[in-house]
């Protein structure tokens, strides 16, 4: 987990970290980037609550709207460091748009 934290926090100067409700969050001026979840499972499980707003190609990002990245060990974290840094940089570049409500279309009933 320490290697993943180091990569995230060093990717952009606006990134910071806080613990809330026993969960470690990585945040920037754009809002919460990700949280470390499922501490009881081996490796690192990083949850990106608004990961669906990222548009880059990230092969290890799983899920639809709420995305996640699973990293098994420090070696894998180092191998994915460039991808993690790119995600953080894109997130930070979104600014206020990252916090804006999603523009998902809702089906409207027909009369």
Instruction: Using pLDDT thresholds of 50, 70 and 90, give the confidence band for residue 105.
Output: very low
Residue 78 has a pLDDT of: 94
Q: Which two structure tokens, joined as six digits, stand for 110?
A: 């027909």
106 pLDDT tier (thresholds 50, 70, 90): very low
pLDDT of residue 111: 47
Burial of 24 (0-12, 13-18, 19+ CB in 10 A): middle
* Per-domain boundaries in the chain: 2-96
> Please, which pLDDT band fits residue 97 given cuts at 50, 70 and 90?
low
- Bigger pLDDT: 103 or 14? 14
CB crowding 70-85: b at 16 or more within 10 Å, else e: ebeeeebbeebbebbe
Give tens-digit pLDDT for 20-74: 888 888 888 778 888 888 777 788 888 988 888 889 999 999 988 789 999 999 9
* For residue 89, pLDDT beyond 80: yes
């Amino acid at each position: 987990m320490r290697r993943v934290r180091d990569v995230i926090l060093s990717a952009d100067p606006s990134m910071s970290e806080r613990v809330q409700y026993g969960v470690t969050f990585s945040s920037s001026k754009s809002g919460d980037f990700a949280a470390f979840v499922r501490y009881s499972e081996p490796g690192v499980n990083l949850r990106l609550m608004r990961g669906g707003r990222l548009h880059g190609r990230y092969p290890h990002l799983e899920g639809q709207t709420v995305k996640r990245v699973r990293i098994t060990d420090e070696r894998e974290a180092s191998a994915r460091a460039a991808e993690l840094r790119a995600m953080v940089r894109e997130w930070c570049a979104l600014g206020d748009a990252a916090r804006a409500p999603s523009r998902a279309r809702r089906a409207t009933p027909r009369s």
